[in-house]
Chains A and B, each alone.
Chain A
Amino acid sequence: MARMKFLCDAERCIECNGCVTACKNEHEVPWGVNRRRVVTLNDGLPGEKSISVACMHCSDAPCMAVCPVDCFYKTSEGVVLHDKDLCIGCGYCFYACPFGAPQFPQDGAFGLRGKMDKCTFCAGGPEQDHSDAEFKKYGRNRLAEGKLPACAEMCSTKALLGGDSDVIADIYRNRVLKRGKGSEVWGWGTAYGKPEKGGTPPAGAKS
């Protein structure tokens, strides 16, 4: 099994926030915590671009590196998860994360910072699968039900893809080649230009 990843196609994202709503609904995420959000560049201007951002489940995750209590672990599918019983809510992971994925619920009248909450790739956490404790702490475990993250599966334009990185990279590559736009950007060939048999790059691939 390859690594699980998210991929957001900025050409397709229409900023509907369906992914955000799906995530909130699926995991009953409390008010003030957004495991996923849509970021728009040049909002309101012609040619604006939107992208859906959550935990990217980094291969070499900086949150794991800086956690003083080592509450992070990576599953065999490459999903970065953490143990909320161990988390002390220090916020180091928030400063280390380049995507702003770690979220901290504000508990109580004095704004106490609770334990960190983040996207789990709908893979639950270190509790009994489908138990109340798992749902309460980490949300629903769709991966253990043989399903992919709700945000990706709910995306109406299929801008947000989630799953096995090899498969979603193939889907994206095929999509870009079909629409004939996108493969001219610098680095596309390195990221998505899978060499054909015989070593020649696919049509349209550059760099």
Chain B
Amino acid sequence: MRRALIAGLAGCFAVLAAGCGEQSQVTVYKQGQYQGKPDKQPWDNAMFKGDRAGWEKTIKARNNGQNEYSRTVSN
């Protein structure tokens, strides 16, 4: 009987003590610094395979493609 009482009390103590181990669930933000996931460069993918110069060349061609004066015959 006494053993059962001690075991019961020990169990209750364990349950109560478990509440003391609660971890903080609030995110700590560092002021002025990006806190999210890192992003890769647009040329770091399967298409360009890290070729930055190739990517820049492609983008530049697209950029200049917006200029219809260079796409038409000048008079």
Using CB atoms and an 8 Å cutoff, list the residues of chain A in contact with chain B: 1, 68-73, 75-77, 81-83, 85-86, 123-127, 129-130, 141, 143-148, 152-153, 158, 161-164, 167-168, 171, 174-175, 178
Contact = CB atoms under 8 A, between A and B. Distances in A.
B39 interface: yes
Contact of B66 (A83, A158, A178): A158
Given A130-B45, A163-B63, 13 more contacts: A1-B56, A73-B36, A82-B36, A83-B37, A86-B36, A123-B42, A126-B36, A141-B42, A146-B55, A146-B58, A148-B62, A162-B66, A171-B69
28 contacts: A1-B56, A1-B59, A69-B27, A70-B35, A75-B42, A76-B41, A86-B35, A124-B39, A126-B36, A127-B37, A129-B40, A129-B44, A129-B45, A130-B45, A130-B46, A143-B59, A146-B55, A146-B59, A148-B62, A162-B66, A163-B63, A164-B60, A164-B63, A167-B60, A168-B66, A171-B66, A171-B67, A171-B69
Say whether chain B's binding surface is mostly helix, strand, loop, or mixed: loop
Contacts of B48: 144, 146
A124 B44 CA distance: 13
A163 B46 CA distance: 22
Given A130-B45, A143-B42, A152 B66 contact: yes
A129 B47 CA distance: 10
A178 B45 contact: no
A180 to B, nearest CB: 14
Contact of A73 (B34, B40, B47, B69): B34
Closest 3 interchain pairs by CB?
A83-B36, A146-B58, A163-B63
Contacts, number: 96
B13 interface: no
Contacts of A77: 42
Contacts of B32: 70
A86 B43 CA distance: 25
A69 B45 contact: no
A111 to B, nearest CB: 26
B66 A126 contact: no
A141 B44 CA distance: 13
Nearest to B66: A161
Given A70-B30, A163-B63, A174-B67, A144 B45 contact: yes
A147 B65 CA distance: 11
Contacts of A144: 42-43, 45, 47-48
Given A148-B59, A158-B66, A126 B37 contact: yes
